[in-house]
Structure 1
Amino acid sequence: MTDVEIPPAAKMHELLTGFQVSQALFAVAELGVATALLDGPREVNDVAAAVGADADTLGRIIRFLAQLGVFRTSGDTVEITDLGRTLADGPADSLRNVARYFHQTHYAPFGSLLHTVRTGEPAATAYLGKPFFDWVMESPELAALQNDAMAGFTQNARGDLLDVYELPEGRTVADIGGADATLLVELLTGRPERRGIVFDLPSTVAGARPTVQAAGLDERVEIVAGDFFESVPTADVYVLSAVLQDWDNTASLRILRNVARAAPAGAALVVVDMVVPEGDAPHPTKMIDITMLGMLGGRQRSESEWRRLLADGGFTLQRVVSGSGSYSVLEATLA
C-alpha cells in the first residue's frame, strides 16, 4: 500500500489550521493531562475527573491529538506516547512550562504578525502596547514562569553541547542574562577552581538564589543585578546564552560592546545560540526565528551573520561547536 499524496489545497488547509493544534496542546498542558497519564493507560472519564475537565470535550481533544502522535487510544482508554510525555511534569525533556508560557504570552500577540511584516515592529509590541519583556516583568508570576520555561527549553535544545564543549581558561565566569543561574551552576559543577557571576535584571536574577543554594555554590557564585544595556561586571569568561537571539543587531551590538569594555585582556566570549544553516531544508532555527521576529524583534543568524556581528561588537569568532541539539557555541576573543 502506497502513501496517498495530499492535494496542495488540503495541505494548505492543514497548515492554516495549525492554530488549533497549538490551542489543543496548550489546553492539555495547562490541565496536566500528560502528567495524569504517566503511570499508565486510563479511561478518558477517569482522566477528565482527575484534571477537572469535561469528559466528552477532553475525549475529542485527545482523539484530535492522537493522530499527531501525542496520545494512543484504544476504545475509551488513552495512554501517553513519548511525544506526549514532553507535556508532563517530571520527564527531563518536559516542555510543559514552555507550552503554558506560550499560551499566556505568545499566542495572542501573534495575531498581529501582519503588522510586523508591514512595519517591522514586533507583533507583541503592537498588541501589548509596550515591549514584550517590559510587559512580562510587570507580573512576578509571568516572570517566574518565563524563567522556568526558558531554562527547560534551552537545556533540552542544547542537547549534549556542554558535554562536547569545554569553557576557555579563566577563573571567573560571568553568565550575562543568566536568569535563575541554571546554566552557570551546570558550568561550575565539578570545576572547583572557577567562580561565577550571574547577572540579570533585578526581577529576573532574584530567582538565582535558590538555584545556587541548592547546588551548594553560595561561596563561589555572586548574584549581581543590573542591565546589560548599561554595563556588565568584569570577568575572564563571558557567557551569553540565548540572549542575543532576543535582540536586533543594533541592540545586540550595545550588549557586545559593553562586554568588550568590561573585559580584561585575554578574556573570552562564549555565545550559546543558534546558527541558521543555508538553504531551504527544515531546521528548528527557522521556526524560532519567526518567534523572535514576532515577539521581540530579535533574530536567528547564520554563521556569516554571527561573524560580522561579533566583529562589529569588538570580537573575533574563533570557532563554532555544535552538539546534538539546536544550539551551538560560538567562541570568540577580544579583537
Structure 2
Amino acid sequence: MTIKAHEEEGTAIMSDEHAVQPVPPTVMMAQLLDGFLLSQALFVLADAGVATILDQEGPQTIATLAERTGSDADVLARLIRSVTPYGVFRTEEGKVAVTELGATLSESHPQSMHGIAVGGMHLHYRAVGELRHTLRTGQSAASKYFGKPYFDHVATDPSLAALFGRAMAVFARTLRAGTFDDYQLPPGVLIVDLGGGDGTILTELLRSDDRPDRRGIVFDLPGRVESAHAVLTAARLAERVEVVAGDFFTEVPQADIYLLSWILHDWNDEKALEILRSVWAAAAAGARLIVVEQVVPTGDEPHPSKHMDLVMVSLLGGRERTESEYRALLGDAGFVVEQVVSTPSPFVILESVKP
C-alpha cells in the first residue's frame, strides 16, 4: 500500500499492515511547534558523544552509554527514545544502535554534522528565542540576546570562534559538496578567497584546476585565517597560496579573480555593497568576481535557502536572495553578471566582471 498525501487532512506518516492513517492538521501543527524540543535533544545527544560511541563501537546498553558520557541513565534513555521515531537510533536486544542517519552526528563520520549540532546548541539556539524582537524591529535576535552583533560575540571567546569554524567546515563538506564539480575557473592567475576561513574552498578549486601556474590568497580576519596554514600544508599548496589577514569592508588584495563563497548572505544590502565596493576598488578592469550562494526560488516549493533565511534574519541581519536580487546587488556595485552556473548542490555560481 502506498502512502498518499491528503491536502485537507495532512500527510500520512503512520501506517500498519492494513491501513494508512492521515494525520490531522492539529497533530501536524503540534509536531511543527515542538520542533525546538527535537533539535535540542539532538544537540545535547551529539554534544554528549552518544552517536560517536555507537558509530565507532557498535550497539551499547543505556547503562554503558550513560557511564561513558557522564549522563543520567533515565534521562538519556528518554532522550534517545524521543528521537528514535525520526530514524536517528534503533533499539535491538536491549541495546541502542545508531542508524545511517544518526551516524552523521558522529565526530568520526566522513560527512559528520557534529560541528553543526554542537555549534547550533552553543551559538544559535538561545539567541533565536528573541525572534519576536526581530519581527517587531528588524534588528537581529542575536544582537538583542548577546547585546552585540553575532560575529562580535563569537570573536570574544576563542572556543566559540573554534566552534564557528568547525560548523563552517561542515557546511563546506556537506551542504556545499559538489558545488565545484566540473567547474572551470575563469582566466586569471591570482585568485583571492575573501572570507576564506581555513582555506578549504580555495584548496578545492586549486586542486581540481588544470593550471599549475594559478596562485591564491586566503583572506580573512585575524584569528580566523590562521587556521588556513594547516589546511594548505596538508594539501601541499602552502607554496602557491598566501594567507593574509584583513577586513574586506575596508580593503582587499589585488587579484585577477575574486571569490565570495557564502559571504554576501551574511549581510544586508548596505553592508554587502560595502564588501563589493572594496572589491571594485582593488580590481582592475576585466577582473572576475565569483559569487557562490544559494538562490531563493520565487515559488512556494521547498528549498534550503528558505530555512537558511531564518538563520540570517535572526542571527546576522543578513538575507538569502533571489537571482534577480543578486543581479541588482552586483550591478549596483558596478559588476556585470556574465553567467549563472547551476551546480549539483543547492548553490549556484554567479560569475561577473568589472568592465
- TM-score w.r.t. the length of structure 2 is 0.91
- Picking from 304, 309, 314, the partner of 2:334 is 314
Q: 1:279 to 1:190 in 2, by over 3 A?
A: closer
Q: Which has the higher contact order (CA 8 A, sep 6+)?
A: 1
> Which amino acid is the alignment partner of residue 336 of structure 2?
T
Which one is further off, 266-275 or 158-167?
A: 158-167
Q: Find the aligned partners of 2:65 and 2:104 in 1 and give their Cα distance.
A: 18
Instruction: Give the Cα–Cα distance (whole angstroms) in 2 for the partners of residues 43 and 318 of structure 1.
Output: 58
Contact 2:339-2:351 within 8 A present in 1 as well: yes
Cα deviations across residues 234-282 of structure 1 (Å, max 9, x unaligned)?
Answer: 1111110110010001000010111111111221111111111121111
Conserved 8 A contact 2:172-2:201: no
Q: Tell me whether 1:176 sits opposite 2:194 in the alignment.
A: yes
Q: Find 2:52's aligned residue among 35, 50, 54.
A: 35
Q: In the alignment, is the contact (CA less than 8 A) between 2:142 and 2:150 conserved in 1?
A: yes
How many equivalent pairs are there? 335
Counterpart-to-counterpart distance in 2, 1:259 and 1:214: 29
Match runs of 1:103-182 below 5 Å: 103-182=121-200
Partner of 1:333: 353
RMSD of aligned residue pairs (Cα, Å)? 1.3
- Counterpart CA distance in 2 for 1:301 and 1:99 is 25
Following the alignment from structure 1 to structure 2, what is the Cα–Cα distance between the partners of residues 221 and 90?
A: 29
In 1, the alpha carbon distance for the partners of 2:97 and 2:273 equals 49
Shift, 1:190, TM fit = 5.0
Would you say the 8 A contact 1:113–1:294 is kept in 2? yes
Structure 1 gaps, min length 5: none
Tell me if structure 2 keeps the 8 A contact 1:164–1:323.
no
3-state SS in 2 of match to 1:161: coil
Amino acid at match of 2:48: L
% identical equivalent positions:
48
Kindly report which structure 2 residues correspond to 1:252-263, keeping only aligned pairs within 5 A, or say none.
252-263=272-283
Check 1:190–1:110 CA distance in 2 against 1; reply closer, same or farther (3 A cut).
closer
1:209 to 229, 239, 250: 229
Give deviations 1:290-327, integer Å, cap 9, x for gaps. Answer: 00000000011111111111111111122222222222
CA contact (8 A) 2:193 2:258 kept: yes
* Counterpart amino acid of residue 62 in structure 1: I
Matched, 1:21 2:33: no
Contact 1:154/1:242 (CA < 8 Å) preserved in 2? no
Aligned partner of 1:67: which letter?
Answer: P
User: 1:227 maps to which residue?
Assistant: 247
Matched residue type, 2:165:
N
**Does residue 1:297 correspond to 2:297, yes or no?**
no
Q: Distance between the aligned counterparts of 1:131 and 1:283, measured in 2? A: 27
| 1:244 corresponds to | 264
Give the 3-state SS of the residue equivalent to 1:170 in structure 2. coil
**More deviation, 205-214/195-204:** 205-214
The one-letter code matched in structure 1 to 2:325 is E
- Gap change, CA 1:103 and 1:6, over 3 Å in 2: same
Instruction: Check 1:10–1:190 CA distance in 2 against 1; reply closer, same or farther (3 A cut).
Output: closer
Name the larger-Rg structure: 2
Q: Distance in 2 between matches of 1:167 and 1:232?
A: 20
Corresponding residue SS for 2:244? strand
Is the Cα–Cα contact under 8 Å of residues 150 and 315 in structure 2 kept in the other structure? yes
- Which deviates more, 261-270 or 232-241? 261-270
Instruction: String of CA shifts for 1:151-170, please: whole Å, max 9, x gaps.
Output: 11133112212113121121
Identify unmatched segments of 5+ residues in structure 2: 1-17
Q: Give the secondary-structure state (helix, strand or coil) at the position aligned to 1:19.
A: helix
Check whether the contact 2:128–2:314 (CA below 8 A) recurs between aligned residues: yes
CA distance in 1, matches of 2:338, 2:83: 45
Whole-angstrom distance in 1 between the partners of 2:206 and 2:45: 36
Q: Which amino acid aligns with 1:129?
A: G
What residue number does 1:85 align with? 103
